[in-house]
Amino acid sequence: MVIALIGATGLVGRVMMKVLEERRFPVSSFIPCASARSAGRKLEFNGAEHTIVTVEEAIEARPDIALFSAGAATSRQYARSFAERGTFVIDNSSAWRNDPSVPLVVPEVNAHTLNANTKIIANPNCSTIQMVLPLAPIHKRYGIRRLVIATYQSVTGTGVKAVQQLENERAGIKGEMAYPHPIDLNCFPHGGDFLENGYTAEEMKLVNETRKILDSPEIQITATVVRIPVAGGHSEAVNIELDNDFHIDEIRQLLHKTPGVVVQDDPINNIYPMPKQAAGHDEVFVGRIRRDHSVNFGLDLWIVADNLRKGAATNAIQIAQHLLDNKLV
């Protein structure tokens, strides 16, 4: 496979390289790209040095797959040029996610939406990926009527500058601000731009992308996205109202059996998912599994994952693996 990586110097781009290496993805030729600022610099992949090239050069190379993680503007500008030349684009930005002709894929949930003609494929938003993985089997079995979500999101979801801001604040250094406020010893209910409906862009991603991936536009969803001074992963408190009654042990069993999900639910012994422990892992961790007694058929879950891995890089590489395993590429 000839693989191009657009955004190779970014946080997600670097994890994508690591995941490709760890999974021994069959890469015959690797083409790293970044902005013009980085072109000519070298980076190491699979034990060899590679020179960063411009996106235009990568398009001409007609790679089999182009992994994009360089922001929505870059994806909008270049994804079609790759696709027109026969390259599969797996795009980690928000550029194509709401396009009805573009599959939005969490492979364990809806890989069936991929085929040889879906040349542009959207990788969902990090907080959506980790939420729909455990929710999909619950939805299939009991039907999800409504979701009330609060997220506690890592600064790594914002990119290199945000991690730098947190580190600067902790070291007492005055530097560039990625956020409108200090993040260390703080938290704010602000992820992405504020929209006219009062929600933020990150909150609406949870609403729209969850409906699309679960193929259920009728699910009622409200979300509050909160940024916290943590680097290892995103956490989510998810309140679920189901259409049908359930037994809490059945939910636990269902989650135990779900590929990619790890149940960590022994609160008496202080065992529940935490970002510090999820960091560096590909699985989604679920705990605090309990009935919500305030409504009929209510359920509460606490869901944690490394947002750079299953929330971004790992999911993208799993999509690439699916294309390969099913001889679509």
Decide: is 7 part of the binding site for ligand A2P (CB under 6 A): yes
Shortest distance, CB of residue 208 to ligand A2P, whole angstroms?
21
Decide: is 160 part of the binding site for ligand A2P (CB under 6 A): yes
Positions marked catalytic: 126, 234
Of the listed pieces 10-18, 96-104, 233-241, 305-313, which binds ligand A2P according to CB under 6 A?
10-18
Cα separation, 303 vs 237, in Å, equals: 7
Shortest distance, CB of residue 139 to ligand A2P, whole angstroms?
31
Decide: is 13 part of the binding site for ligand A2P (CB under 6 A): yes
What does the per-residue mask of binding to ligand A2P show for 46-85, with x meaning CB under 6 A? Answer: ---------x--------------xx--x-----------
Shortest distance, CB of residue 159 to ligand A2P, whole angstroms?
3
Considering only residues 276 through 295, tell me which ones interact with ligand A2P, judged by CB under 6 A. Answer: none
297: left (phi over 0), alpha (psi -120 to 50) or beta: left
The binder of ligand A2P chosen from 1, 2, 23, 35 (CB under 6 A): 35
- The residue (of 33 and 136) whose beta carbon lies closer to ligand A2P is 33
Give the burial class of 153: count Cβ atoms within 10 A of its Cβ; 0-12 exposed, 13-18 middle, 19 or more buried. Answer: buried
Considering only residues 243 through 262, tell me which ones interact with ligand A2P, judged by CB under 6 A. Answer: none
Shortest distance, CB of residue 285 to ligand A2P, whole angstroms?
24
HEC readout, the chain: CEEEEECCCCHHHHHHHHHHHHCCCCCCEEEEECCCCCCCCEEEECCEEEECECHHHHHHCCCCEEEECCCHHHHHHHHHHHHHCCCEEEECCCCCCCCCCCCECCHHHHHHHCCCCCCEEECCCHHHHHHHHHHHHHHHHHCEEEEEEEEEECHHHHCHHHHHHHHHHHHCCCCCCCCCCCCCCCCECCCCCECCCCCEHHHHHHHHHHHHHCCCCCCEEEEEEEECCCCCCEEEEEEEEECCCCCHHHHHHHHHCCCCEEECCEHHHCECCCHHHHCCCCCEEEEEEEEECCCCCEEEEEEEECCCHHHHHHHHHHHHHHHHHCCCC
280: left (phi over 0), alpha (psi -120 to 50) or beta: left
Decide: is 10 part of the binding site for ligand A2P (CB under 6 A): yes
Considering only residues 167 through 226, tell me which ones interact with ligand A2P, judged by CB under 6 A. Answer: none
The binder of ligand A2P chosen from 24, 37, 112, 247 (CB under 6 A): 37
Asked if 153 and 234 count as a contact pair (C-beta separation under 8 A), the reply is yes
- The residue (of 155 and 286) whose beta carbon lies closer to ligand A2P is 155
- The residue (of 20 and 144) whose beta carbon lies closer to ligand A2P is 20
Shortest distance, CB of residue 201 to ligand A2P, whole angstroms?
15
Decide: is 157 part of the binding site for ligand A2P (CB under 6 A): no
Decide: is 164 part of the binding site for ligand A2P (CB under 6 A): no
Decide: is 113 part of the binding site for ligand A2P (CB under 6 A): no
Of the listed pieces 7-15, 80-88, 135-143, 268-276, which binds ligand A2P according to CB under 6 A?
7-15
- The residue (of 34 and 286) whose beta carbon lies closer to ligand A2P is 34
Q: Which residues make up the interface to ligand A2P (CB under 6 A)?
A: 6-11, 13, 33-35, 37-38, 55, 70-71, 74, 159-160
